[in-house]
């Protein structure tokens, strides 16, 4: 279990997003997992991994289209991991699961955790219309410079992970959004300190957080 401490109202959504990553490692429900070796969209193509957000998402788009054409990106995780380039989460209307695609040095790893396993509700097409496109969201390479003062104030000395989230699907209660979907960037430091920014890199109100694993 993971907890995130912050005075802002969206902290529960952040904690939910962090918990998804842990749930993928130990889900109780069956999870489909597939390793696609040397796909053209993977780092195996011979080109270096992209540094922009759109390019990172593009690594996983083909897998998403095979799952459900037109699936919606709701989360992007950029870990400081030598083997993993990016992990992208997709959802689609009227499905009972999400698609999580991880682009690694060996290819694409796909998982499909169910909403029931994670405690989320299925999304409708109308609900997904409210989820904004990630176009225009600050790229990972631009973050250190754009948010330097905020990161310093929050005690983030070494970036461990970037978490791009919309609040979906956690903020959908089955009938309405409890918080309007919007791209938010959480910068997590190696020590557990973090900072929460909006999609433009501007600090949210009370941006500093501390993420702690709870056994």
pLDDT score at 164: 97
Domain that holds residue 153: 2-213
* Distance from the Cα of residue 23 to its chain's centroid: 13
Cβ atoms 152, 189 nearer than 8 A: no
pLDDT score at 108: 94
pLDDT score at 47: 60
For the whole prediction, is pTM greater than 0.85?
no
How many domains does the chain contain in total?
1
12, burial (CB in 10 Å: exposed 0-12, middle 13-18, buried 19+): middle
208, burial (CB in 10 Å: exposed 0-12, middle 13-18, buried 19+): buried
pLDDT score at 211: 84
Splitting the chain (215 residues) into consecutive groups of 10 residues, what average pLDDT does each group show?
45 52 45 45 56 94 94 94 88 96 92 95 96 95 90 92 96 96 94 93 92 65
pLDDT score at 158: 87
């Amino acid at each position: 279990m993971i907890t995130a401490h912050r005075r802002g109202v969206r902290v529960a959504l952040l904690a939910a997003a962090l918990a998804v990553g842990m749930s993928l490692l130990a889900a109780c429900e069956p999870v489909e997992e597939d390793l696609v070796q040397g796909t053209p969209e993977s780092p195996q193509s011979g080109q270096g991994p992209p540094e922009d957000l759109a390019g990172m998402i593009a690594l996983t788009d083909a897998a998403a289209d095979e799952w459900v054409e037109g699936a919606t990106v709701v989360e992007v995780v950029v870990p400081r991991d030598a083997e993993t380039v990016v992990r992208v989460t997709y959802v689609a209307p009227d499905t009972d699961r999400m698609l999580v695609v991880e682009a690694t040095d060996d290819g694409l790893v796909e998982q499909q955790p169910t909403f029931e396993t994670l405690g989320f509700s299925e999304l409708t097409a109308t609900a997904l219309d409210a989820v904004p496109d990630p176009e225009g969201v600050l790229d990972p390479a631009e973050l250190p410079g754009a948010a330097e003062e905020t990161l310093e104030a929050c005690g983030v000395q070494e970036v461990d992970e970037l978490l791009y989230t919309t609040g979906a699907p956690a903020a959908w209660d089955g009938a309405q959004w409890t918080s309007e979907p919007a791209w938010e960037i959480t910068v997590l430091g190696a020590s557990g300190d973090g900072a929460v920014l909006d999609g433009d890199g501007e600090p949210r109100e009370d941006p500093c957080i501390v993420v702690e694993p709870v056994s």
